[in-house]
Amino acid sequence: MSCSRPQPLIRASLKSLFTYRHPYHSSHQRIRALHTSRLRIRYSPHHVQLRSASTIAAAAASTPPAKDARSLLTRLKNLLLGTSIGLTVILGYYYVTDTRASVHEWLVIPCLRYFYPDAEDAHEFGNRALKVLYSFGLHPRERGLEDAKGDLAIEVFGHLLRNPIGTSAGIDKHCDVPDALLAAGPAVIEIGGVTPQPQEGNPKPRVWRIPSQKALINRYGLNSNGADHVAMRLRQRLREYAYHMGWGIDEEAEQRILDGEAGVPPGSLQQGALMAVQIAKNKFTADADIEMVKKDYVYCVDALARYADVVVVNVSSPNTPGLRGLQKGEPLTDILTAVVAAARKVKRKTPPKVMVKVSPDEDSESDVKGICDAVWDSGVDGVVVGNTTKRRPDPIPNGYLPTLEQRLLLEQGGYSGPQTFARTVALVKRYRKMLDNGAYPNNNNDSEHSPPRFTSIQSPLETPAATHPPITDADINASVARDKMHLKPPTPEAEA
């Protein structure tokens, strides 16, 4: 390479090569100086390369075998580390997304309670987190073995459900996570309660935990985003299902799903499950104006019923003043008759079933008979027993409960917890027996006008098959005893 005026870097390098060295400088220092000068020349802007190919080959040939061995060992270590990390992620995914994983009970729930002392805040965060996890496929789901023998299968309204477990309204008030709830394992979920117009509900705080009793007190007051908002979400969910079926995302595809062409219930959108939607009147609608109350319920039916498998009429919330007064015979009959008529006009091949949710506190003989009469007169398909209760557990000795929990038990609102189990089961028996006996005001010997007897505890108001034996008290007691055997033991947190 020729150059009339060498660059400063090259000149400096040449100078370092031929500079006079003091005799006392060691040869090692001279070699280092020479090596430095060569490095400078090699990385100069003109890429001057003084090392020959033979020098490079010789250096490569002189690489010791130990270095190759170390390189191979490093590769094996990296492979083992990468494989371990991959297996840990995969196994961790399957574990954490299993509803039976202990991490949910012993880590997730305590963390929620620690970071969100207010139960409503924890509830809202839990729903938001579940919604995000479901969108990424990281949500908890039922991973247990299938019920091969069908011991848990149960028939409800002509549908064979995978188990008798259901979630009540209040968990998913605004239809945020219906599919995530179904994935967790229950065969029935209930959306709502939904009111015609949006309403805030009662002032906060309005939800309290009673950990030692595994109980909850709430006075939400039917806070709702309104029927139109929930209907929009249900419609979007159904059309997305139709799109994934390859039918498009328009109204025609929606109608095909509603008419059952997909082979799944139009509410739950999956075999072996049902989705109910609970409806209620607005708080500001006067209870005495039955016509306006009926319009509230019918408005909800018109907006929501076509996307539901079951419509649940809530006339028993303890947190809406005057609502439970609608359970009286004549008002209840008028409301339920209007709801049933509206549900039968829904634009789809098979209309949704209608059920009424009753209070566990109205348990006198006249109260139960009046509700059963309204059920028969209106043509309702079933009864949900029951809502939360205004009552409190039997008196607990002083000092047994923490001071905070003793104070919280005095809060107004609906109480729910295992202490209500026995009383609720007893009330279910009473409703069951009275409905089985045909508690109908115009009951006579004319078979044309006599109501059918109930023989299926799963679908109480459907005409029974002739081969089904009647349900007896012994059958019900055996079912209750079996359920008690499978109850989980108390947790240390509850015993604290």
Question: 158-205 pLDDT, tens per residue?
Answer: 999 999 999 999 999 999 999 999 999 999 999 999 999 999 999 999
In the annotation, is 212 catalytic?
no
Residue 226 binned pLDDT confidence (cut-offs 50, 70, 90): very high
Give the pLDDT of residue 37.
46
Q: What is the pLDDT of residue 19?
A: 47
pTM of the predicted model as reported, rounded to 2 decimal places: 0.75
Assign 436 a pLDDT band (cuts: 50, 70, 90): confident
Q: How far is CA 219 from the centre of its chain?
A: 21
Q: Is the pLDDT of residue 338 over 90?
A: yes
pLDDT tens figures, 37-87:
444 444 444 444 445 555 655 555 555 677 677 788 888 999 999 999 999
Strands (E), 250-295: 274-279
- SS3 category, 195: coil
pLDDT at residue 53, as a whole number: 53
Cβ atoms of 333 and 396 within 8 Å: the answer is no
Task: Write the CA distances from 464 to 159, 345, 476, integer angstroms.
Answer: 14, 25, 18
> How open is the CA angle 146-149-150, to the nearest 5 degrees?
80
- The DSSP string of 227-266 is HHHHHHHHHHHHHHHHHHTTS-SSHHHHHHHHTTTTSS-T
In 3D space, the residue among 398, 402, 391 whose CA is nearest the CA of residue 495 turns out to be 402
DSSP conformational letter for 367 = H
Structure tokens at 259: 């008419």
Q: Considering the chain, what percentage of its residues have pLDDT values greater than 70? A: 73
Cα–Cα distances (Å) from 31 to 25, 34, 37, in that order, read: 11, 5, 10
Is the bond leading into 205 cis (omega within 30 degrees of zero)? yes
Classify residue 110 by burial, with Cβ atoms within 10 Å: 0-12, 13-18, 19+: exposed
- Over the range 416-447, which residues count as b (16 or more CB within 10 Å of their CB) and which as e? bbebbeeeeeebbbebbbbbbeebbeeeeeee
Q: Counting every residue, how long is the chain? A: 496
- Neighbouring CB atoms inside 10 A of 487's CB total 9
pLDDT at 450 over 90: no
490 or 147, greater pLDDT: 147
**Given 224, 317, 456, 459, the catalytic residue:** 317
**In terms of pLDDT, which residue wins out, 313 or 318?**
313
- The rounded percent of the chain whose pLDDT value lies above 90 is 54
Least confidently predicted of 5-9, 148-152, 409-413: 5-9
At 346, list the tokens. Answer: 């829904």
